[in-house]
Every structure is written in structure tokens, then in C-alpha cells.
Amino acid sequence: MTVRVGIVGWGEIARQHARALTISGARVRGVVSRSGAAPDGATCFESLDAMLPHVDAVTIAVPNHLHAAHCLTAVQAGVPVLVEKPLITSAAQLAELEPALLSADSPVHVGFRLRWNPQLLRFRAALQPALSQDVEISCSYELGIDALADGKDWTRQLVQTGGTFFTLGVHMLDLARWLARLEGESLSDMEASADGSAENVDYPLRMRVTGMSPGGARIVAVADTRERLPYCIQISARGPNDAILEQLQLDASSEKAEYEAMMRDFVEATVSHRIDLTNTREILQVHRELLYARALAPDDHASPPDSPRAGARETDARDH
């Protein structure tokens, strides 16, 4: 069976999807694109609704604030969907999407490509025996806003991106939780900060989130998009007395391989109709905690009004 995939969007990331899907043996059947552009052999459709009857699965690669609505459309149609991170950027989107995802009868994936990095897979396996110790897992992503927003100025706007928490921060919190092998459990004792500014960006450029896992691991997620920072991802695990257990630094050289492995898994899930509700709950929890952290950060004065502020609880984001 050749899986026919439709792609919503036709920018840089959508083209990465198309390349990886083709390598995985799928066929890019259609594209939803305002420009009218589409790869050879694919049809350009006016909307996702128009494309859905012609495809077996869809991927979503449009500005962040549009992810939730397109994902919901695919889920309600019973079509497997892979949506680029972040899944949502607001509490209202989460409230609307969560029940649909938890009752979905088709695979729902999110583009956390770093989970497919070969070095990180080895790092995770090596770390597993240490998770019973008093361990700190720290994940940091640096990429200057000028490079991040190159060709897509919407990335400079809070309302379209969700800010640094939902551009790079979502990668790091997901990665730290994945390394700690969490499966939807809440972090406790969460703290968050946000700072850094630029004239043409309306949100803080640097964020930091910390929390404690139920097993006792301390989670640290940092994203820094201050101007001119080169691409760099640093991951470390420290044990008692700050002893280094594992550490790793990544550049962008493995990105293509990550996309290929991620898309191969999505195509296989589409063919086998593999649904992983445990992973869905984990993805939802990552986003719930980012909403909480963004509202908690004292310097993030531009947090959207529907972010779930501390209110009844000051230590975690347990409301499922």
C-alpha cells in the first residue's frame, strides 16, 4: 500500500515533510498552499477540507497558531495526522483539542523530531539506569531569532508563535520529559522565567522552566533565541554532588535523518492504524505545562489572557 499524504502548508518545513515522506515510501498527493505551489505530481487544494477525501493521512506545517484547528479538522474526519510542534499555543486551543485527541480513532503524531536523533536514542538508553538516582536532566536550545525567523516574520509575533516557550521551549521540555521517561505525569514545584528583548520581537527571547518528576528527577528546559546565537542543543544528566552522568551537544547536521525516521514511523502507524494514547497524553501534558510556565514567568508580561495562571495551585499543572 502506498500511503497518499496531504501537506498543509508549503514552506521550508513542509518541504522537509515532503522529502522525508517520499523517502519513507509515501506519495505526496496534495498540498494546501496560498501560493498555489505544489511538488511535481501533487495537486494544490484550496483547503484541508477539500483535500481530505483524496488522501490517507495529512501533515501540518503552517504558522503555530493554526496547528490546533487543522489538527482538529483531520481528527474529526478520522484521518491520521502529524502536526508540527507546537500542537497548541493557548489554553482555549488545548481545551477544544484535548477531548478530540483522547477519543481519536486514527493516529495523531506531533513533530518532536529530536526523539528520533540516533545520538539522543543512545543517550536515553544509557541514562535509564540512573533515573532511580537523584538526577537532573537539562536540555538547552540556542538559535538566534534572526535565523529562526528567516523567511517567516510571523515567528517574531507572540500571537502567532506562542513565544519562545512554544517555538524552541516546547522541544526542550518534551525532550527532558522523554529522557526521564514520563508518560503524562505532572511535574511538581514548577518554576519559570523569561527575559531578553529585541526591537522587532514582541515576546521575551529566553525562557527557562524547571520542575520535579514523580520519580524525583529534576527537569530543566531552556530555550534562548537572542539575536545571532548559532544553532546549538546541549543535553546533560547530572547525579548526586553534580556528577556528570551523560552529556551531549548537537548541531543541525542530523535534522534530515530525524525527519526521515519520524515520517517513516508516521507512515507505518498510518498503515497499521497504530494509536498510542499514552503518548498523546504525554504530548498534551507537555503543552499544558508550557502554558502554565508561560503564565508563571514573571517577566513574560505579554502572556495571552487565556493562559492558565497559577490561581488554585502554585506548584504544578495537574488539571488533565
Chain segment 177-233, per-residue pLDDT in tens: 999 999 999 999 999 999 999 999 999 999 999 999 999 999 999 999 998 899 999
Shared domain check, 162 and 291: yes
Q: What percent of the chain has pLDDT over 70?
A: 93
Is residue 61 one of the residues assigned to a domain? yes
Shared domain check, 155 and 288: yes
The pLDDT of 244-272, averaged and rounded, is: 96
Shared domain check, 287 and 178: yes
* Lookup: cell for 156: 517574531
Shared domain check, 217 and 130: yes
Encode pLDDT of 133-151 as tens digits: 899 999 999 999 999 998 8
pLDDT at 304 over 80: no
* Lookup: cell for 223: 530555550
Shared domain check, 269 and 241: no
User: Quick one: pLDDT at residue 296?
Assistant: 93
Question: What distance in Å separates the CA atoms of residue 126 and residue 309, rounded to the nearest whole number?
Answer: 37
Shared domain check, 166 and 56: no
Shared domain check, 164 and 75: no
Mean pLDDT (the chain) is 91
User: Quick one: pLDDT at residue 298?
Assistant: 67
Is residue 315 one of the residues assigned to a domain? no
| CATH code of residue 135 | 3.30.360.10
| CATH code of residue 269 | 3.40.50.720
The pLDDT of 275-294, averaged and rounded, is: 98
Shared domain check, 291 and 154: yes
Number of domains in the chain: 2
**Model confidence at 114, in pLDDT bands (50, 70, 90)?**
very high
The amino acid at residue 50 is A
Burial, 142: exposed, middle or buried (Cβ in 10 Å; 0-12, 13-18, 19+)? middle
User: Quick one: pLDDT at residue 316?
Assistant: 32
- Among 166-175, 220-229, 296-305, 306-315, the least confident range: 306-315
Shared domain check, 245 and 178: yes
User: Quick one: pLDDT at residue 311?
Assistant: 28
Shared domain check, 288 and 151: yes
pLDDT at 317 over 50: no
Q: Residues 134, 240: contact at Cβ < 8 Å?
A: yes
Is residue 302 one of the residues assigned to a domain? no
Shared domain check, 108 and 23: yes
Shared domain check, 79 and 151: no
Secondary structure of the chain as H, E, C letters? CCCEEEEECCCHHHHHHHHHHHHCCCEEEEEECCCCCCCCCCEEECCHHHHHHHCCEEEECCCHHHHHHHHHHHHHCCCCEEECCCCCCCHHHHHHHHHHHHCCCCCEEECCHHHHCHHHHHHHHHHHHHHHCCCEEEEEEECCHHHHCCCCHHHHCHHHHCCHHHHCHHHHHHHHHHHCCCCCCCCEEEEEEEECCECCECCCCEEEEEEECCCCCEEEEEEECCCCCCCEEEEEEECHHHCEEEEEEECHHHHHHHHHHHHHHHHHHHHHCCCCHHHHHHHHHHHHHHHHHHHHCCCCCCCCCCCCCCCCCCCCCCCC
User: Quick one: pLDDT at residue 39?
Assistant: 84
pLDDT at 313 over 60: no
Range of the domain at 166: 118-251+283-296
Is residue 310 one of the residues assigned to a domain? no
The pLDDT of 263-286, averaged and rounded, is: 98
User: Quick one: pLDDT at residue 133?
Assistant: 81
Encode pLDDT of 53-76 as tens digits: 999 999 999 999 999 999 999 999
User: Quick one: pLDDT at residue 302?
Assistant: 46
